[in-house]
Amino acid sequence: MKKINLKIVFILTLAFSMLSCNEDFLNDPQPTDAVTASVIFGSRDGADAFVSGIMRRFRGQFTATDAAGVNSLYYARTVKGNDIIQRATWFSFDYENDNREPTYRRTNFTWNYSYYMINQANNLINGAEQSEGLSALDKKEIIGQGKAIRAFFYFQLAMEFQHTYTFDPSLPAPPIYTELSTEGNPMSTLKEMYDLILEDLTYATQNLTSDRIAKSYINQNVAYGILARVYQTMGNWLGAEDAARKAYGGGTPTSVLNNNYQNGFNDISDSEWIWGSAQSLDQSNYYWGAPHAHADHFVLSYSATFFNNNFVALFSPTDIRNTFLEGYNVPAADYRNYISRKFTFNFDSDHPIIRTAEMLLVEAEAKYYNGDPTGAHNILFALQSTRDPLAVKSTNTGQALLDEILVERRKELYAEIGVEWFDAKRYRKGITRNGNQRLKGNSSLLPDDKRFFLKVPQAEIDANINIDESVNNGR
CB 351 within 8 A of CB 71: yes
What is the β-pairing status of strands 172-173 and 188-189?
A: antiparallel
pLDDT above 70: residue 87 = yes
So what's the pLDDT on residue 148? 99
pLDDT digits (tens, 9 = 90+) for 113-146: 999 999 999 999 999 999 999 999 999 999 999 9
If DSSP codes are grouped into helix, strand and coil, which group holds residue 75?
helix
Has residue 456 got a pLDDT over 50?
Answer: yes
Count other Cβ atoms within 10 Å, centred on residue 98: 15
DSSP state, 217? S
Q: Beta strand 84-86 with 305-307: parallel, antiparallel or unpaired? A: antiparallel
Q: What is the pLDDT of residue 35?
A: 65
Task: Identify the burial level of 319 via C-beta atoms within 10 angstroms of its C-beta, where 0-12 means exposed, 13-18 middle and 19 or more buried.
Answer: middle
28 HSE (CA, 13 A, CB side): 16
Q: What are the boundaries of each domain within the chain?
A: 6-279+350-472
Q: What is the pLDDT of residue 7?
A: 33
| Whole-angstrom distance, CA of residue 55 vs CA of residue 149 | 9
CATH of 6-279+350-472, picked from 2.60.40.1930, 3.30.565.10, 1.25.40.390, 3.30.360.10, is 1.25.40.390
**pLDDT tier, 14 (very low <50, low <70, confident <90, very high otherwise):** very low
Residue 291, preceding peptide bond in cis (omega within 30° of 0): yes
Which residues are registered as beta bridge partners of 84?
A: 307
List residues bridging with 325 in a β-sheet: 339
- In sequence order, which residues have a C-beta less than 8 Å from that of residue 197 and are 6 or more positions away? 151, 154, 155, 158, 230
Nearest to 86 by CA among 389, 291, 315, 298: 291
Q: Which amino acid is at 160?
A: E
Tell me how far apart the alpha carbons of residues 99 and 97 are, in angstroms, rounded to a whole number: 6
The C-alpha angle 28, 29, 30, rounded to 5 degrees, equals 110
For residue range 237-283, what is the model confidence (pLDDT) as tens digits?
Answer: 999 999 999 999 998 999 999 999 999 899 999 999 999 999 888 77
278: nearest Cα among 358, 354, 352, 357: 352
User: E strands of 278-332, at which residues?
Assistant: 305-307, 324-325
| Full-model pTM | 0.92
The pLDDT of residue 264 is 87
Residue 443 clears pLDDT 80, i.e. is over it: yes
Q: Per residue in 370-389, pLDDT tens? A: 999 999 999 999 999 999 99
Bridge partners of 276?
352
Query: What secondary structure letter does DSSP report for 470?
Result: G
